[in-house]
Amino acid sequence: MRNIQTIAWKEVKTYFASPMAYVVAASFLAITGFFFVASVSDPFSEASIRGYVAGAIFFMVFLSPALTMRLLAEEQKLGTLELLMTSPVREWEIVIGKFIAAFVMLALMVAGTLYFVIVLAWYGDPDIGPILTGYLGVLLYGSATLAIGLMASALSSNQLVSLVVGAGLLTALTVSNFVADRLTGVAEEIVSNFQLGSSFSVFDTSSFGVVEGGHFADFARGILSVTDIAYYVSITAVFLFITVVLLESRRWR
**Which DSSP string do the residues of 11-50 spell out, in sequence order?**
HHHHHHH-HHHHHHHHHHHHHHHHHHHHHHSSTT--SSSH
- DSSP label of 215: G
CA distance 83 to 71: 15
Residue 85 is predicted with a pLDDT of 66
What is the CA 37 to chain-centroid distance, rounded? 22
Say if residue 206's pLDDT is above 50. Answer: no
Side-chain half-sphere of 236: how many Cα atoms within 13 Å? Answer: 19
pLDDT in tens, 11-28: 888 888 888 888 888 888
Range of the domain at 90: 2-252
| % of the chain beyond a pLDDT of 90 | 15
Residue 78 is predicted with a pLDDT of 75
Confirm if 75 and 69 have CB atoms less than 8 A apart. no
pLDDT band for 105, please (50, 70, 90 cuts): very high
Confirm if 157 and 174 have CB atoms less than 8 A apart. no
Average of per-residue pLDDT across 64-92: 80
Following CA atoms 24, 28, 31, 37 in sequence, which dihedral angle do they give, to the nearest 10 degrees? -150
Say if residue 7's pLDDT is above 90. Answer: no
Residue 101 is predicted with a pLDDT of 93
CA distance 253 to 240: 21
Say if residue 196's pLDDT is above 50. Answer: no
Average of per-residue pLDDT across 73-90: 75
CA distance 163 to 65: 5
Query: Any idea which of 38-52, 172-186, 220-234, 237-251 has the lowest mean pLDDT?
Result: 172-186
Domains identified in the chain, total number? 1
238: exposed, middle or buried (Cβ count in 10 Å: 0-12, 13-18, 19+)? middle
pLDDT band for 210, please (50, 70, 90 cuts): very low
Confirm if 142 and 67 have CB atoms less than 8 A apart. no
Residue 190 is predicted with a pLDDT of 54
CA distance 73 to 70: 5
Say if residue 207's pLDDT is above 60. Answer: no
pLDDT in tens, 26-68: 888 888 888 877 777 766 666 667 777 777 888 888 888 998 9
Average of per-residue pLDDT across 138-156: 90
